[in-house]
Structure 1
């Protein structure tokens, strides 16, 4: 699947493989990603190019609209027209690892579309043991506009499709016969948690739970993009209601910490693990 990859380990156990150069068609917006990611017992909690959405690639950063270029994959939502096949796909290109250890890495990437580099990314990923049955994936990305003009980030929502503000960190989870339970500290179900900010959000399958926490040091709190019934996926929304402008030389930074646990957690257990995962 790739000509270069690395394995993340927690307490000596492999919990994730990072693919730097997945061999994918251009229309899927090729990009580095984590797959498979597993619980400590070995249960896979990601999918790569599933049949329902071939452009869903494990865990990574995907944005459907960077100044009109598609870094998400698949069709592009065009205002007053709907999902449309366009020749506008970009790719994220692995440049180098600045740091590479068994429990994490720091990577440099270039976001390129139509032969032009629009953004330069620094990605920092770390895996940490929390308990005998849970670990945390700490994922930070910073996107810097290296062009001489402003660049804006959009989403289908900002292009006329309400409720579809995906774009940013995204985790395509394991699909099972039954839809996963999704909940926050004070809300339950996809309809109640989708499109809203929350300190943390949990997705619980048959034998596993993922708990996502926005941990960026900023006053801005991105709403969560959530799917459970159609497919299991969770991401943060960089452009929920308005386009996000990035001035020349400007940088957008986001950090998401995800608890990966065996078993199905309740609210108290999820909250306790999140506190442990994001504490200094």
Structure 2
């Protein structure tokens, strides 16, 4: 694997970006961030855990792009359930446009199992100071359909598996022995927030080195995607591009998303989380990604 790039807040190394990893085909190889750390050094991501080896820290992953699996693992097939198919795609680094200590921009190719380019991506990742306990990962991506036909972004849910609307930005959190709590603006708990559209969503991990992750839909011009959230069997949060119906993108057309994730030491309370979410939602939204 090519040496990862480190993102820094001052002299603190807060995240490593594996931009050209060597990975098994079955995990749908793609660039990812891992480990991501709090300012105190606590790791808050997992990569290739035993329960889901295709979960790669922080990445953009979609289960079905025109029939190609860019999520990894098995594919949900109606009438058969999840099965391994020879349909895994690869996200491959194309070229850098910016490489700085706290910010990287690059272009990627999403290549289907037949070796054909399906999507070109422009990605911008930045580490932004928040306060003495927290920093924010500003993650933006723009996906352009480079095929000659409309391209459908789908999920296991759109293919018949209820509640499994995952696909898009995804963060696999490091659980360890911690109890995970899920917070939202007006409700709490996985059951009440999974599949909901809220301005922000937070995970808190209790334990000897507690942490809080606050996920903010960062594009005021774009209605927030529904959240995919897990806190019991594992800890993870994603924003869903295709929750209950495919998202069809025309040839030459693009879609863009921005998620800002606050990474904080300590288990923050709901009021603290709401205040910080409001602050980071106002971060400058320069274009393009």
Q: Structure 1-normalised TM-score?
A: 0.98
Task: Give the drift of 1:277.
Answer: 1.6
Task: Give the drift of 1:5.
Answer: 1.8
Task: Give the drift of 1:13.
Answer: 0.7
Write the distance in 2 (CA, Å) between the matches of 1:94 and 1:179: 36
Alignment of 1:214-253 (within 5 A): 214-253=217-256
Write the distance in 1 (CA, Å) between the matches of 2:78 and 2:234: 25
Q: How many residues align?
A: 279
Write the distance in 1 (CA, Å) between the matches of 2:56 and 2:179: 19
- Aligned-CA RMSD value: 0.9
Deviation digits for residues 132-171 of structure 1 (CA, Å, limit 9, x no counterpart): 1100000001000011111010000000001000000000
- 1:120 counterpart SS class: strand
Write the distance in 1 (CA, Å) between the matches of 2:21 and 2:231: 26
Match for residue 257 of structure 1 among 244, 255, 260: 260
Assess if the C-alpha contact under 8 Å between 1:170 and 1:233 holds in 2.
yes
- 1:130 counterpart SS class: strand
Which 4+ stretches in 1 moved above 6 angstroms? none
Q: Which consecutive residues of structure 1, in runs of 5 or more, have no partner in the other structure?
A: none
Write the distance in 2 (CA, Å) between the matches of 1:217 and 1:131: 23
Write the distance in 1 (CA, Å) between the matches of 2:60 and 2:127: 17
- 2:126 counterpart residue number: 126
Write the distance in 2 (CA, Å) between the matches of 1:261 and 1:17: 17
- 1:170 counterpart residue number: 170
Write the distance in 2 (CA, Å) between the matches of 1:250 and 1:79: 29
Task: Give the drift of 1:126.
Answer: 0.8
- 1:203 counterpart residue number: 203
Assess if the C-alpha contact under 8 Å between 1:108 and 1:121 holds in 2.
yes
Write the distance in 2 (CA, Å) between the matches of 1:29 and 1:56: 10
Alignment of 1:1-280 (within 5 A): 2-113=1-112, 114-206=114-206, 207-279=210-282, 280=284
- 2:287 counterpart residue number: none
Task: Give the drift of 1:54.
Answer: 0.3
Task: Give the drift of 1:95.
Answer: 1.1
Task: Give the drift of 1:56.
Answer: 0.2
Q: Which consecutive residues of structure 2, in runs of 5 or more, have no partner in the other structure?
A: 285-289
Deviation digits for residues 194-225 of structure 1 (CA, Å, limit 9, x no counterpart): 00000000000021000001112434221000
Deviation digits for residues 8-54 of structure 1 (CA, Å, limit 9, x no counterpart): 00122100000012111101000000000000000000011011100
Write the distance in 2 (CA, Å) between the matches of 1:179 and 1:131: 25
- 2:34 counterpart SS class: strand
- 1:34 counterpart SS class: strand
Write the distance in 2 (CA, Å) between the matches of 1:134 and 1:89: 36
Q: Structure 2-normalised TM-score?
A: 0.95
Write the distance in 2 (CA, Å) between the matches of 1:242 and 1:264: 36
Task: Give the drift of 1:62.
Answer: 0.3
